[in-house]
């Protein structure tokens, strides 16, 4: 169906989507599909846009909203998401307002009258608000050009965030027969997509699906050995970047937050067991860069739009591939490199297996399938992108992405660990194939730990034969043996030899392995006693002038603190990198920097130029 509310270009001959992209948002070119989606909406066709997180969905309705003569209603499920969008739009001097329970009554009234006067381009609301009879009546008196349904998967019962009120939007639409509708989501499963189209009565020809590949995400899967140390490693590597650590339970969240804080990491917890105030406060602290790390359950994420999340660590196995992809998708929305580490343990799998046994039969089958898919993913030695994209019905163009642990490992030189492997595996055998790597390492090192003595493991032939090797190295050897499947973990975390171990133990075969960068790093972490400053700037590989970048960042932080907005709302990291690299010294040169539009030039140009001019 073609709606009549097509864009009004009378008197705005110069105003095209591209022009707005440049002058308002400061970008030179559209990303894939953005332009076609915008054109389709402007032509009055109801449109479904499916794009991964960070793909740039907002632009797809915000640019038409600025071109339409009337109001664009934006339905969004969460107050925090609306708030985030409004903040960014207002920074760009766009007339966007919100109606929800979080604003005071004066603001509410004033927002309503601004809408009534036709001053507002975008009105953000939760579906509950929009569906109130008095709001529907009010909106009927306004010229509505476009209805945007953000996070449209909430309409589908198949989705992971079904919201019954979303269902009623289909009916409410009838109140605005002239408004074109655009629905947006990052959920790619065909079932959910079909549901959205069916419920909103969209034609399938008006569906735009972008690739779900996120090439800037560096993917890695690693055995969880000393989990805390592994998380600390990541936190240290991204010394100035923000990150999320996902845990499976509230208890684990609390415990890990405490441990990280004890090590001096700026970290806060987030889970459904915290009261609303604490949760909102912690999320806001993360958004504002007041805290660097959020340790969270799956409850965290949907309400957050932070583009500069530099790492996502899964401390435990996620529920399934879909939620894993959604969670890692929260990293690197700004397109800059981001790191995603999944820590994997057979003990976790046993635990999940136990929970699955308690489920009903139908639930059981699905849960077991999800678990198997995840295990296959973790154990795979092939490029990580293949199976992830395949899950969404997409084929990765190449066998090797070059940006995951498995692809990188193939390019690494092999190291020979035969001697160490033999010692370690003999000790696994002698201790009865019941203990974890840490205990085996203690025995090898001749430790006088109570557990070793209580078990009489100081009488074994392998006791003390590895005393000259640091414990961290033994843990590294264990990790390599697990990765190459010479040993496996039983459901209690105890190490057990496999068939593959025998030829190495018998000295018939050597044990050679390729070591990923992070495994190599945790290997040398204790050995090198962190002598070298291995801190990596979160954004270093495109950045030529880190000192200038730091100065610009400091200015940005100061401005953001003063306004109580997140730093990324002022300028993104990408914009600051471009400034530091190009060193613009005039207004027009500054306008050439991606992310600098006219409004921001006026507001922040002078302050930034002051720094740039003395370079
Ligand atoms: P999504 O909602 O799909 O997760 P956003 O709309 O938040 O993604 O966009 C992610 C980031 O990409 C934002 O920082 C946005 O400013 C930026 N962006 C969007 N479109 C473009 C573009 N055409 N060129 C450069 N940056 C863009
Ligand atoms: Zn790969």
Nearest CA to ligand 1 atom 20: 56
Atom of ligand 1 at shortest range from CA of 25: 16
Which pLDDT belongs to residue 115?
97
User: Which residue out of 36, 56, 572 has the highest number of ligand 1 atoms within 8 Å of its CB and is therefore the one to mutate?
Assistant: 56
Atom of ligand 1 at shortest range from CA of 53: 4
Q: What share of the chain is helix, strand, coil (3-state, %, to 5)?
A: 50, 15, 40
Nearest CA to ligand 1 atom 2: 57
pTM of the complete model beyond 0.85? no
> Mean pLDDT per segment of 10 residues, for the chain of length 615 residues?
49 76 94 95 96 91 97 94 93 95 93 96 96 94 96 86 90 92 88 91 89 93 89 90 96 97 97 95 94 95 89 94 90 93 88 86 86 89 90 83 89 87 96 93 94 95 93 87 89 89 94 74 49 46 85 95 92 94 95 95 96 91
26 lines ligand 1 (CB under 6 A): no
Longest dimension (CA), the chain: 92
Q: Could you tell me which CATH number the domain at 546-612 has?
A: 1.10.150.80
Looking from the CA of 308 toward its CB, the CA atoms found within 13 Å total: 24
**Cα 329 to the chain's mean position, in Å?**
4
CA distance 57 to 55: 6
Which pLDDT belongs to residue 518?
57
CA distance 503 to 499: 8
Ligand number, closest to the Cα atom of 220: 2
51 lines ligand 1 (CB under 6 A): yes
457 lines ligand 1 (CB under 6 A): no
* 3-class DSSP string for 534-598: CCECCCHHHCCCHHHHHHHHHHHHHHHHHHCCCHHHHCCHHHHHHHHHHCCCCHHHHHCCCCCCH
Atom of ligand 1 at shortest range from CA of 572: 14
27 lines ligand 1 (CB under 6 A): yes
Reference 82, options 106, 46, 60, 58; nearest CA is 58
Outline where DSSP puts E strands in 29-163: 47-50, 71-75, 96-99, 122-125, 144-149
CA angle 288, 289, 292 (to 5 degrees): 140
50 lines ligand 1 (CB under 6 A): no
Which pLDDT belongs to residue 332?
94
Q: Could you tell me which CATH number the domain at 217-410 has?
A: 3.40.50.300
58 lines ligand 1 (CB under 6 A): yes
Reference 181, options 199, 202, 161; nearest CA is 202
CB 575: neighbour CB atoms within 10 A? 22
- Do 217-410 and 415-513 share a fold? no
Reference 187, options 225, 163, 152; nearest CA is 152
CB 285: neighbour CB atoms within 10 A? 15
Tell me the H-state helices in 299-383: 321-328, 346-357, 361-379
CA distance 612 to 14: 32
Nearest CA to ligand 1 atom 17: 56
572 lines ligand 1 (CB under 6 A): yes
The top-level CATH class assigned to 415-513 is mainly alpha
**CATH 3.40.50.40 applies to domain 17-209:** no
327 lines ligand 1 (CB under 6 A): no
Which pLDDT belongs to residue 226?
84
Residue ranges per domain, the chain? 17-209, 217-410, 415-513, 546-612
């Amino acid at each position: 169906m073609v709606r009549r509310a097509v864009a009004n270009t009378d008197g705005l001959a110069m105003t095209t989507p591209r022009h707005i992209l440049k002058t308002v948002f400061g970008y030179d070119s559209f990303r894939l599909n953005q332009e076609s989606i915008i054109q389709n909406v402007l032509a009055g066709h109801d449109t479904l846009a499916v794009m991964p997180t960070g793909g740039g969905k907002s632009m797809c309705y915000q640019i038409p909203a600025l071109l339409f003569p009337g109001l664009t209603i934006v339905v969004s499920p969460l107050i925090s998401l609306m708030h985030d969008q409004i903040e960014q739009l207002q920074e760009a001097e766009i007339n966007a307002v919100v109606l929800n329970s979080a604003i005071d009554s004066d603001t509410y009234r004033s927002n309503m009258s601004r809408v009534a006067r036709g001053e507002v381009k975008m009105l953000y609301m939760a579906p509950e608000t929009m569906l109130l009879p008095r709001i529907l009546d009010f909106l009927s008196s306004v010229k509505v050009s476009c209805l945007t349904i953000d996070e449209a998967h909430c309409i589908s019962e198949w989705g992971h965030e079904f919201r019954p009120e979303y269902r009623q939007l289909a009916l409410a639409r009838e109140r605005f027969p002239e408004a074109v509708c655009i629905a947006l989501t990052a959920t790619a499963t065909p079932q959910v997509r079909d549901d959205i189209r069916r419920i909103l009565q969209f034609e399938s020809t008006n569906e735009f699906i972008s690739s779900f590949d996120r090439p800037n995400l560096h993917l890695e899967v690693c055995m969880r050995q000393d989990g805390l140390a592994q998380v600390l490693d990541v936190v240290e590597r991204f010394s100035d970047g923000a990150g999320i650590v996902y845990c499976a339970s509230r208890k684990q969240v609390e415990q890990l937050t405490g441990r990280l804080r004890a090590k001096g990491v700026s970290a806060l917890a987030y889970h459904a067991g915290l009261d609303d105030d604490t949760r909102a406060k912690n999320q806001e602290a993360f958004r504002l860069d007041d805290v660097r790390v959020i340790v969270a359950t799956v409850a965290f994420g949907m309400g957050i739009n932070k583009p500069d999340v530099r790492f996502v660590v899964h401390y435990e196995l996620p529920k399934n591939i879909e939620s894993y992809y959604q969670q890692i998708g929260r990293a690197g929305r700004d397109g800059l490199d981001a790191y995603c580490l999944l820590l994997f343990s057979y003990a976790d799998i046993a635990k999940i297996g136990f929970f699955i046994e308690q489920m009903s039969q139908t639930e059981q089958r699905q849960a077991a399938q999800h678990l198997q898919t995840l295990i296959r993913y973790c154990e795979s030695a092939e490029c990580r992108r293949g199976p992830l994209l395949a899950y969404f019905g997409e084929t990765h163009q190449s066998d090797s992405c070059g940006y995951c642990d498995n692809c990188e490992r193939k390019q690494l030189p092999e190291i020979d660990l035969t001697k160490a492997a033999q010692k370690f595996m003999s000790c696994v055998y002698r201790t009865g194939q019941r203990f974890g790597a840490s205990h085996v390492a203690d025995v090898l090192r001749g430790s006088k730990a109570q557990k070793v003595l209580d078990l009489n493991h100081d009488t074994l032939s392998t006791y003390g034969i590895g005393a000259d090797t640091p414990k961290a190295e033994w843990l590294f050897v264990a990790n390599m043996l697990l990765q190459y499947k010479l040993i496996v973990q039983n459901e209690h975390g105890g190490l057990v030899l496999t068939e593959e171990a025998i030829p190495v133990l018998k000295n018939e075969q050597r044990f050679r392995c390729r070591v990923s960068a992070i495994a190599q790093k945790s290997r040398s972490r204790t050995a090198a006693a962190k002598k070298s400053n291995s801190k990596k700037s979160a954004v270093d590989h495109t950045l030529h002038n880190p000192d200038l970048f730091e100065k610009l960042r400091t200015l940005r932080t100061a401005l953001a603190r003063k306004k109580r907005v997140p730093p990324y709302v002022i300028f993104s990291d990408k914009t600051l990198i471009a400034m530091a690299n190009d060193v613009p010294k005039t207004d027009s040169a500054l306008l050439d920097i991606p992310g600098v539009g006219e409004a921001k030039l006026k507001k922040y140009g002078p302050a930034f130029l002051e720094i740039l001019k003395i370079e």
